[in-house]
Amino acid sequence: MPQEFIKIVEVGPRDGLQNEATPVTTDTKVELIRRLAAAGFQHIEATAFVSPQWVPQMADASAVMAQLERKNTIQYSALVPNLKGYEAALAAKVDEVVIFGAASEAFSQKNINCSIAESLERFRPVAQAAQRDGLRLRGSVSCAFVCPYSGEVSTSALVQIAQGLQDLGCAEIDICDTIGAATANQVRVAYEALAKVIPVEKMSGHFHDTYGQALANILAALDSGIRIFHASVAGLGGCPYAKGATGN
């Protein structure tokens, strides 16, 4: 029997730092990423090419990428909200771009100011550009289980947005418990439904630990066949649009 491996995506430099109120210097971010790479992480979400008006902590995305030591064994990814962000990420020579939607209409409106359907259409030019440029595309689903504004998210809504991201050409799809309110049973039910339309090896688990359930949810995801998980160094993080949420 072949040995199974778990892929860890370290999201601390982006998901962890984006919510910090105190500005973090570019040099500090670069040093953090350097140490994560030295510790053995091969997949690091380094930054986000987003509007500094909305996420000031990520205003130095290009400067961070310019200072990173590049190795063939390390993949640096970056979040992009639109074609402008994609073009900046491409110029910065990221290895993977991440687009993001939500399984909750309320959260989609609060987070990216559009409906779920509109968000998928907004990302279509990004997906087409990534395919044209041969750049790996990853899709992330926020509030996959519970929304801070509308409560529990239906499994059908989750499947619909995840399938939409797959149809755009995402090589990997992150199923995110953004506020850390999911239960192990919800996780099992969700992945069982998702696996009917998306290969299990294409899905990841992104579990915040707000209520101390992240490890239980990771175990439930493991039992469901998931072998890709996100982590955030020192438990950094939360969500700018979900007050009280803690990190991965």
C-alpha angle with apex 17: 12 to 21, nearest 5 degrees? Answer: 160
Token pair of 119, please? Answer: 């968000």
From the list 143, 147, 176, 239, the catalytic residue is 239
φ, ψ of residue 124 in degrees (nearest 5): -60, -45
Contact (CB, 8 A) for 116 and 84: no
Q: Rounded CA gap, 147 and 134, in Å? A: 34
Instruction: Sort strands 146-147 and 151-152 into parallel, antiparallel or unpaired.
Output: antiparallel
Dist. CA 83–CA 98, nearest whole Å: 12
- Side chain identity at residue 131, one-letter code: Q
Which tokens hold the place of 128?
A: 């087409």
145 CB-near residues (< 8 Å, 6+ apart)? 103, 152, 153, 158, 177, 181, 182, 186, 187, 190
Question: What are the counts of helices (DSSP H) followed by strands (DSSP E) for the chain?
Answer: 8, 10
Is 239 marked active-site? yes
SS3 34: helix
CA angle 48, 195, 218 (to 5 degrees): 60
180: nearest Cα among 217, 207, 144? 207
* Whether the Cβ atoms of residue 225 and residue 200 lie closer than 8 Å to each other: yes
What are the residue numbers of the active site? Answer: 239
